[in-house]
Structure 1
Amino acid sequence: MLNRRALAALALACCTLAGCARDAAPEVGYVLLNGEQANSRQWAGKVMLVNFWATSCATCVKEMPQVIATHNKFKGRGFDTLAVAMSYDPPAFVSRFAESRGLPFGVAIDNTGAVANAFGKVQMTPTTFLINKRGEIVKRYVGEPDFAALHGLIEKLLAEA
């Protein structure tokens, strides 16, 4: 009979060897600041960073240069970024922020909250999801991620078939 510690170790070993079952990213539609209609189906085959943020969130504003740097570092290798502004963020503020900071990736305003709800009722900002090429959520970060560790994980996901 296995005790709890042995069962936990066995579960971890199986998860490491076989890959854990992961939640699929939700299928969502959204409109980018430039008016383009988009859908999460377009993410197929890419590693995606989906960042929920607000212009009123000090941590979001602080981390945005690192989100930009991450995007620029990996964008030519099958990586993309989507910044999703929260429903309470005034669209004019989001647009000004994106323009003044030269955000190099898609920015969507989640004016109905549907995208945040689809991702598990996101309320805290920043909340960031890393999604693999198969459309599975690999990691959820609440607050600012450790960007060095995030880059390592992105490298690993980009190397996967």
Structure 2
Amino acid sequence: MKIKDRLLGLSLLVLISAVLWIGFGKTVTPVPDTTFTTITGKKIALHELRGKPVLVTFWATDCPGCMEEIPHLIDLYRNYHDRGLEIIAVAMYYDPPNHVVTFTKDNALPYDVALDLQAEHARAFGDVRLTPTTFLITPDGSIALQKIGAFDPDDMKTRIETLLKG
């Protein structure tokens, strides 16, 4: 009976430790080492943007939530780019490149737009399949936020301001 009680107590201790470790342990997700090619041919290596907050958003021209976010992305770019924020909009592999280029020009998107023709960036960021999916990257190169679906503009502004102050 004593051995059974000890095993039960040990199991309980392991379970409590695991719950505390999962609940309170801060996990840092590093940013993938990837280089985007924009629709203008510019190369952007994420590791070269260290020291700045970066917003990477996966989108498509036929995505209603993405279209809803674009005015907010433009606003974020206009308000925070001069202070260091970089925004990279990554068009999904299934979005025809001519649609992306036309849309970008017609809507005068001020931030960088990249194509992901082979879905390599989507895979690098954890196999992104849903749009919009947005990642907020800290200046030290870790992922501070991953949001599937439209982000809350006020929350995003607060997060970006915090990163710019730090």
Provide TM-score, normalisation by structure 1. 0.88
Structure 2 match to 1:59 = 65
87, 90, 105: which is aligned to 1:81?
A: 87
Partners of 2:84 and 2:42 in 1: CA distance: 21
Match status 1:98 vs 2:98? no
1:71 maps to 77
Encode CA deviations 1:94-139: one digit per residue, 9 max, x unaligned.
0011101111111000001000100000000000000000010000
**RMSD of the alignment, in Å?**
2.0
| 2:149 corresponds to | 143
Aligned counterpart in structure 2 of residue 128 of structure 1, from 114, 130, 134: 134
Query: Aligned letter for 1:109?
Result: L
Equivalent of 1:36 in 31, 37, 42: 42
Q: CA deviation at 1:76?
A: 1.0
Going from structure 1 to structure 2, the CA distance change for 1:48 and 1:10 (only over 3 Å counts) comes to closer
Match of 2:53 in 1: 47
What amino acid is the match of 1:79?
Answer: L
3-state SS in 2 of match to 1:153:
helix
Q: Does 1:154 align with 2:151?
A: no
User: Distance in 1 between the 2:118 and 2:22 partners?
Assistant: 43
Unaligned runs of 5+ in 1: none
Give the letter aligned to residue 106 of structure 1. Answer: D
Q: Which amino acid aligns with 1:111?
A: L
Q: Which runs of 4+ in 1 moved over 3 A?
A: 1-4, 7-12
Cα distance in 2 for partners of 1:106, 1:8 equals: 41
Unaligned runs of 5+ in 2: 1-11
* Whole-angstrom CA distance in 2 between matches of 1:27 and 1:69: 27
SS at match of 1:125: coil
Q: 2:33 aligns with which of 23, 27, 35?
A: 27
Q: Report how many residues are paired.
A: 153
The structure whose Rg is larger is: 2
Provide the rounded CA distance (Å) in 2 between the counterparts of 1:28 and 1:113.
12
Cα distance in 2 between the residues matched to 1:111 and 1:38: 16
Q: What secondary structure is seen at the aligned counterpart in 1 of 2:76?
A: helix
- With the length of structure 2 as denominator, give the TM-score of the two structures: 0.85
Tell me which residue corresponds to 2:4. Answer: none
